[in-house]
Structure 1
Amino acid sequence: MLPVRPWSRMVSTGILSQVYAGTSAWIRPTMLRGRPWTHMSHASMHKAAKSSDQWPHPLYVSDKIRDRKSTFLAHASTLPSPQAFPAFLDHLSSLSALKRATHCMYAYRITHPTLATGENDGGESGSGDRLARLLELSGCENVVVVVSRWYGGVKLGSDRWKCISDVAKDALDKGGFTKKRQECVIATATTTRKKRKRK
């Protein structure tokens, strides 16, 4: 039997891919517990997410962003505890539309009963840390966000960070997780009322 060598980069969900020495055999990485990604249309994914009983919380999906043949998509959901995270990844891995994603990066932030955070770059160096920082700055609590990227063959350079942040913000906003956004809306409404009273 040929020895197995670790591949040089993390792909999909952070599981190291491996190549058999002396052969071109590729072992496709799977998500956490070995479940392969499968494929179907984006519309079907929404239906599957709603009808699945594997994950009890709503799954909020961002609009897709396409930039130079790369596609970015984010999913956000409530995460009650770090122990629930593997179940969330199992649920997400059952969504067939994510099969061909070349990168899946994530971050979660839980504040009750104690602060717990986690992130993974999923092959995009530094992206997990950026997502974790976004959750902190947005005041998100008990939430997980996963950004998937389908690489189109053209390197985006630093533009990819904007795409990753934009889809993550969109999914978090759709779920109502961002406190900063809620506070801005309340502050704007209060200011408008004060101006009306002065007149």
Structure 2
Amino acid sequence: MFDKIISDRGSRYAVSGGPARSRDEAGELLAELRRNRRFAKATHNTWAAILSGEAVRDDDGEAGASQIILQMLERADLTDHVVIVTRWYGGKHLGGDRFRHVVAAVRHYLAGIGR
């Protein structure tokens, strides 16, 4: 997990993930993350994964963000792995910058796992 990697106008971002071969395993990783009280209170836990060739994703209210994560996983050829971008909303709308932050968070994660 890479926590507090981006801060913009009060919003804060973290990124995490791990191996998952099924939707259930992806759900277990998300549940484990949410057991941490701070992450349970996050505004969005957006995630995506390519599991045995099937693309799965959830915006968790951050419209369009999971599609960006999914595209980056496809480009990195990272399968059977879930990536979760967490955002704590800071009170000011970020507009298109929120997508730039999702991209930066996923890049940080991929670099951290050697991709």
- Fold-level similarity (TM above 0.5): yes
Answer 1 or 2: higher relative contact order, Cα 8 Å, separation at least 6: 2
The CA deviation string for residues 52-110 of structure 1, in whole angstroms up to 9 with x for no partner, is xxxxxxxx425520011111111121113333122222211112221331111110112
Amino acid at match of 2:107: K
- The aligned residue for residue 43 of structure 2 is 102
Structure 1 runs (4+) greater than 2 angstroms displaced: 60-63, 80-83
SS in structure 2 opposite 1:122?
A: coil
- The aligned residue for residue 161 of structure 1 is 99
How high is the sequence identity, in percent, across the aligned residues? 27
Q: 1:84 aligns with which of 25, 33, 49?
A: 25
1:138 aligns with 2:76: yes
Cα distance, 1:62–1:143 mapped onto 2, change above 3 Å: farther
Q: 2:8 aligns with which of 67, 71, 77?
A: 67
- Contact in 2 for aligned 1:105/1:148 (Cα 8 Å): yes
Amino acid at match of 1:119: R
The CA deviation string for residues 101-156 of structure 1, in whole angstroms up to 9 with x for no partner, is 11111101124xxx122011111111111111111012112110111111111111
- Contact in 1 for aligned 2:47/2:57 (Cα 8 Å): yes
Number of paired residues?
A: 115
Moved more, 82-91 or 65-74: 82-91
Amino acid at match of 2:36: L
SS in structure 1 opposite 2:91?
A: coil
- Contact in 2 for aligned 1:71/1:150 (Cα 8 Å): yes
Structure 2, unmatched stretches of 5+, are none
Larger radius of gyration: 1
TM-score between both structures, scaled by the size of structure 2? 0.89
CA distance in structure 2 between the aligned counterparts of 1:92 and 1:125, rounded to whole angstroms: 21
Amino acid at match of 2:8: D
TM-score between both structures, scaled by the size of structure 1? 0.54
Structure 1, unmatched stretches of 5+, are 1-59, 179-199
CA distance in structure 1 between the aligned counterparts of 2:16 and 2:33, rounded to whole angstroms: 9
Amino acid at match of 2:13: F
CA distance in structure 2 between the aligned counterparts of 1:116 and 1:168, rounded to whole angstroms: 19
